[in-house]
Amino acid sequence: MYVAVKGGEKAIKSSLKLLENKRKETGTKSIEINQIKEQLSFAVDRVINEGSLYDKDLSALAIKQSQGDLVEAIFLLRAYRTTLERYAYSTAIDTSKIIIKRRISASFKDIPGGQILGPTFDYSHRLLDFSLMKEDEINSYENINNQEPKNKEFPSVIDYLNNENLLEQEINNLKDNPFDVTRDPMKFPASRDQWMQILARGDEGFLLGLSYSAIRGFGSKGTHPFVGEIKYGIVDIFISPDELGFEICIGSIEISECQMIDQFEGNKNTPPQFTRGYGLTFGYNERKSMAISIVDRALKSEGYGEEIKFPIQDHEFVLYHADNVEAQGFVTHLKLPHYVDFQGELNLIRKLRNEILQGKKL
């Protein structure tokens, strides 16, 4: 237990000053928010997801303020989020109407619209580029081609399997008010709307580790999932304000989506078929959207009547430990003064030892 302490104001003030000084030890140029947004875009996108607030400017600011400690930046964004009045809920995003930046399938080679690599590290050699050590100016890219493209449509790849009923169908229960972790208490077993929200704001490292455990054999079937489709691009966001009485577009955001296909051996009611895991994130966050899709499938295990044996299938284990703001809060609270608490433990151990060393039993 933590017991409150008083005092130390001067030391704290000085400590905050030291922290600020750490950012400017040798007086290098201050990084501009736009530089962070463009040149550290993956960090920015991670922070908007786990901070659960799509605002790339504020994300970049949080990264600057936290001096690159992304978990701290996520904490800052979460704290800011709680100060905002919520105006509306969007119409659910239609990911089939996407302005595509990347789209691949590892299951089907020839897909309408084609496989589009987009900006990816996948085929880079992972060699340090020493030229960046002394890069002076960044010349903006100016090869504009705004002709009408031959194709703008990218139909969902997994619909192929749907045609033969080989793939599990999404069931529409038409729930009006999906679970909202910012307002509703956690409940178990969790519903899928609950876990999908928590996974979207969950720690990327934790989810990546969990999904890795599943495909190494600590998962529902221990089998190899297939990427049905991965997409990254821009989608419009719509709301229907009461005062207008019709739906309007309020701008657009970047998203990453992953459709994962997994086996299912079937049961009394259902013949063998493919099941699906789904991952959706803000921004360009392909690795995390893949991890979410694997965790999503594992959390569905109970619904398929599969045996629950591994951490990734356990709703409480996954959902209570995925949030890095909560996790870091609890782990790092241990460094706060526990003097009274520890004194108690100390007395107890001394007493026990004395009793044993003097040959006395309680």
In the list 12, 79, 88, 348, the residue contacting other proteins (rule: CB under 8 A) is 88
In the list 33, 208, 227, 253, the residue contacting other proteins (rule: CB under 8 A) is 253
Under rule CB under 8 A, residue 180 binds other proteins = yes
Phi, psi (5° rounding) for residue 60?
A: -65, -40
Q: Whole-number minimum distance, CB 207 to other proteins, in Å?
A: 15
Which lies closer to other proteins via its Cβ, residue 245 or residue 359?
A: 245
- 94-133 footprint of other proteins as x/- string (CB under 8 A): -x---xxxxx-----x----xxxxx---------------
- Span near other proteins by CB under 8 A; candidates 209-217, 247-255, 327-335, 345-353: 247-255
In the list 81, 208, 306, 328, the residue contacting other proteins (rule: CB under 8 A) is 81
Q: Whole-number minimum distance, CB 322 to other proteins, in Å?
A: 14
> Among 196, 308, 323, which residue's Cα sits nearest to residue 258?
196
Task: List the beta strands (DSSP E) in 215-332.
Answer: 226-239, 248-264, 273-282
Residue type, 198: I
Under rule CB under 8 A, residue 140 binds other proteins = no
Contacts with 108 (C-beta within 8 Å, 6 or more apart), sequence order: 157, 160, 228
Give residue 259's Cα distance to chain centre. 16
Q: Whole-number minimum distance, CB 183 to other proteins, in Å?
A: 9
Sheet holding 226-239, edge to edge: 99-104, 226-239, 248-264, 273-282
Under rule CB under 8 A, residue 86 binds other proteins = yes
Under rule CB under 8 A, residue 62 binds other proteins = no
Q: Is the peptide bond before 185 cis (omega within 30 degrees of 0)?
A: no
Under rule CB under 8 A, residue 187 binds other proteins = no
Which lies closer to other proteins via its Cβ, residue 26 or residue 82?
A: 82
Q: Three-state SS for 103?
A: strand
Could you tell me the CA-to-CA distances from 132 to 43, 120, 128, 151, 304 in Å, in that order? 18, 18, 9, 36, 51
> Among 296, 303, 299, 302, which residue's Cα sits nearest to residue 311?
299
In the list 244, 334, 357, 362, the residue contacting other proteins (rule: CB under 8 A) is 244
Under rule CB under 8 A, residue 327 binds other proteins = no
Residues 261-320 that bind other proteins (CB under 8 A): 276, 278, 280, 282
Size of the site for other proteins (CB under 8 A): 80
Under rule CB under 8 A, residue 68 binds other proteins = no
Could you tell me the CA-to-CA distances from 316 to 199, 205, 220, 237 in Å, in that order? 13, 18, 16, 32
In the list 26, 139, 146, 358, the residue contacting other proteins (rule: CB under 8 A) is 146
Q: What tokens appear for 158 in the block?
A: 């997994």
Under rule CB under 8 A, residue 87 binds other proteins = yes
Q: Whole-number minimum distance, CB 230 to other proteins, in Å?
A: 12
Under rule CB under 8 A, residue 166 binds other proteins = no
- Span near other proteins by CB under 8 A; candidates 66-74, 131-139, 243-251, 317-325: 243-251
Q: What tokens appear for 13 in the block?
A: 């003030």
Which lies closer to other proteins via its Cβ, residue 57 or residue 355?
A: 57
Under rule CB under 8 A, residue 35 binds other proteins = no
**Is residue 93 within 8 Å of 255, Cβ to Cβ?**
yes
In the list 1, 171, 357, 362, the residue contacting other proteins (rule: CB under 8 A) is 171
Under rule CB under 8 A, residue 179 binds other proteins = yes
**Is residue 265 within 8 Å of 294, Cβ to Cβ?**
no
**Is residue 297 within 8 Å of 225, Cβ to Cβ?**
yes
> Among 113, 119, 125, 180, which residue's Cα sits nearest to residue 153?
113
Under rule CB under 8 A, residue 247 binds other proteins = yes
